[in-house]
Amino acid sequence: MNTSVHYLFSERYFDNICPKDFTEIKKVSSFFLITVLCLFTFTGAMAQQALTYGGDPSGGAPYMFTDPENPNRYIGYEIEIAEAVAKQLGMKAEFIRTDWEAIVASLKNKKFDVIFDGFEPTADRAREIIFSKPYYLFRLQLTVHKNNKEINSLEDCIRLNKKVGTLVNCAASRLLEDKKINYRPYADPVGAYKDLEYGRIDAVLMDIPMEMFYARSNPNFRNAGEPFHKGAYVAGIRKEDTLLQKKINSAIDTLLRNGTFEKIFRKWDMWDDFQLQLVDQKEVKYEITEKKFDWIEALIKLAHAAGITILLAFGAMIIAVILGIPLAVGQMYGPKLIRYLCNIYIEFFRGTPVLVQLLFLYFGLPVIGITLPGWLTALVGLGLNYAAYESQVYRAAFQAVPSRQWDVSYSLGMKPFLAFRRIILPQAVRTALPPMTNDFVALFKDTSTAFAISVWELATAYRELANATQSYLLLGAVVCVFYLAMSLPLTHYARKLENKLKRSSQKLEKAPGT
């Protein structure tokens, strides 16, 4: 070690410092140490004061949604409920956005501390987590179009075999399934009520808060019967956090008694005398919905959803091939205006997300009087999207054919269309086949975007069943087998066709006179 450095850290160095200087050093060091300790203590205390809660704003109002006046923040009565509970606990509420389908799994994985999002206590969820005391009691309301005179109760939907829309994996969906009613699950209430307005479904069954916000003020709707089926909203908590459960229960009791919750619910026009049961009764009785899981039934549902996936993929690919070839030819050989229009089409569909395109077709076209069912919208939308990509595959394949092939064709007396069909196209197909196969396999997976317009394809079925059972691993493995069973045969036959075309081309090249 260097002598000066050794001296600096030796006792002899401190002996040569005057007492006054040494006292000053000790004061500064003590002040610095105390400051650092206070900073760490304060930081730790701040970290402990945050109550993180999860929710899905895409579920819409009045639960939690983007503030129209300030898109950078979320509002809704659930936001205010969580903030009131956190304040009562002496903590700061911190919102963590999550997906509704995976909200229980996210809680268990410690992405946040508690769930506040119109969360219902169900038997399948009770196997995974614990619940707080209820802080709001709801009932279900059946809504129909004002011109519908046939439906006045849920029993009428059963008797007339009507299609009812509701949210995925909720009390209403469980009730409809138990009663064997034909229903369509939605990711948000907006889509359900829009489809009711456009006539795609016959009725909508929702919790009263959603019915009040989205349907009651719409002159095109009417209530079919009185509210029924009492349920509750609770906070979801991890099983090991029993102390947090007790604290939240105590906070809920206090906020119910001092009128804080009533003030919040009145602000959002959700208060009714039904809520007095929360305060007056020591133990509120409400219905815990249960969804029995049957593996045989689940496999049948997955197989049905796989059939829809196959329909969407094959139908969309047929549209893509039929439309892609003219796009490629027009882009290469068409007059200036045709080339310009083809380029606009291709860049538009390649430059915008397919999910946005599906939503535009599904909700935008009815505005101009064109209303398509969800599966047909998905089929057409995916076909139009993939046609843009396929056109570039075909364009590259056509350009790979030597230009002298055109000259040879013309020398044989062929017209341009005949030369293209008999000489150019067969050679281009051999070049285009591998990327076409890749696109076809990708299309099978892209059918999952159809969930946004409530098409019950394979990925949507998996999300719904896994959310209801929390069996993500096993069901996920089964769904992967379904996808592989659909895509592997396609790849196998594409390779066989590719080899067959290659052999035909080689025979042609070896033929005498060629």
Q: What is the pLDDT of residue 320?
A: 94
DSSP assignment, residue 131? E
What is the pLDDT confidence band of residue 276, given thresholds at 50, 70 and 90?
confident
Q: What is the pLDDT of residue 508?
A: 47
Section 137-142 average pLDDT: 94
What is the pLDDT confidence band of residue 5, given thresholds at 50, 70 and 90?
very low
Contact call for residues 302 and 461 (beta carbons, < 8 A)? yes
Cα angle value 330/334/335 (rounded, 5°): 140
> For residues 283 and 358, which has the higher predicted lDDT (pLDDT)?
358
Q: What is the pLDDT of residue 62?
A: 92
What is the pLDDT confidence band of residue 34, given thresholds at 50, 70 and 90?
low
What is the pLDDT confidence band of residue 16, given thresholds at 50, 70 and 90?
low
Which tokens in the block code for residue 273? 């005398």
- Angle, nearest 10°, between helix axes 295-333 and 458-469? 150
Beta bridge partners of 222: 144
Give the DSSP per-residue string, 39-67: HHHHHHHHHHTEEEEEE-GGGBTTTBEEE
Q: Is the model's pLDDT at 437 over the cut of 50? A: yes
Return d(Cα 397, Cα 502) in angstroms, integer: 15
Q: Which of 278-292, 364-378, 444-458 has the lowest mean pLDDT?
A: 278-292
Beta bridge partners of 74: 66
Section 200-227 average pLDDT: 93
Domain boundaries, the chain: 15-44, 295-510
Percent of the chain having pLDDT more than 90? 45
> For residues 501 and 385, which has the higher predicted lDDT (pLDDT)?
385
Q: What is the pLDDT of residue 466?
A: 76
61-70, 180-189, 216-225, 481-490: range with highest mean pLDDT = 216-225
Q: What is the pLDDT of residue 513?
A: 47
Beta bridge partners of 66: 74
Section 269-294 average pLDDT: 71
Q: What is the pLDDT of residue 27?
A: 55
Section 294-301 average pLDDT: 79
Who's near 463: CB < 8 A, 6+ residues apart?
Answer: 101, 168, 451
pLDDT digits over 103-133, tens only? 998 999 999 999 999 999 887 788 889 999 9
What is the pLDDT confidence band of residue 285, given thresholds at 50, 70 and 90?
low
Q: Is the model's pLDDT at 397 over the cut of 90? A: no
Per-residue H/E/C for 1-30: CCHHHHHHCCHHHHHCCCHHHHHHHHHHHH
> For residues 500 and 391, which has the higher predicted lDDT (pLDDT)?
391
Section 356-365 average pLDDT: 91
Q: Name the one residue in this structure whose structure tokens are 């009764």.
A: 281
Q: Which of 15-19, 194-198, 422-426, 457-461 has the lowest mean pLDDT?
A: 15-19
Q: Is the model's pLDDT at 343 over the cut of 60? A: yes
Element (H, E) at 498: helix 472-510
Percent of the chain having pLDDT more than 70? 84
Q: Is the model's pLDDT at 86 over the cut of 60? A: yes
Q: Is the model's pLDDT at 13 over the cut of 90? A: no
Q: What is the pLDDT of residue 251?
A: 96
Q: Is the model's pLDDT at 23 over the cut of 60? A: no
Q: What is the pLDDT of residue 326?
A: 92
Hey, what amino acid is at 503?
R
Q: Is the model's pLDDT at 442 over the cut of 80? A: yes
Q: Name the one residue in this structure whose structure tokens are 């009770």.
A: 126
Q: Give me the chain's average pLDDT, please.
A: 83
Count of Cβ atoms closer than 10 Å to residue 440 Cβ: 21
Q: What is the pLDDT of residue 406?
A: 75
> For residues 31 and 401, which has the higher predicted lDDT (pLDDT)?
401
DSSP assignment, residue 361? I
Q: Which of 136-140, 266-270, 335-339, 473-477 has the lowest mean pLDDT?
A: 473-477
What is the pairing mode between strands 50-55 and 92-97? parallel
Q: Which of 136-145, 434-443, 501-510 has the lowest mean pLDDT?
A: 501-510
Q: Is the model's pLDDT at 163 over the cut of 80? A: yes
Q: Is 444 helix (H, G, I), strand (E, B) or coil?
A: helix
Count of Cβ atoms closer than 10 Å to residue 105 Cβ: 16
For the domain bounded by 295-510, which CATH number is listed? 1.10.3720.10
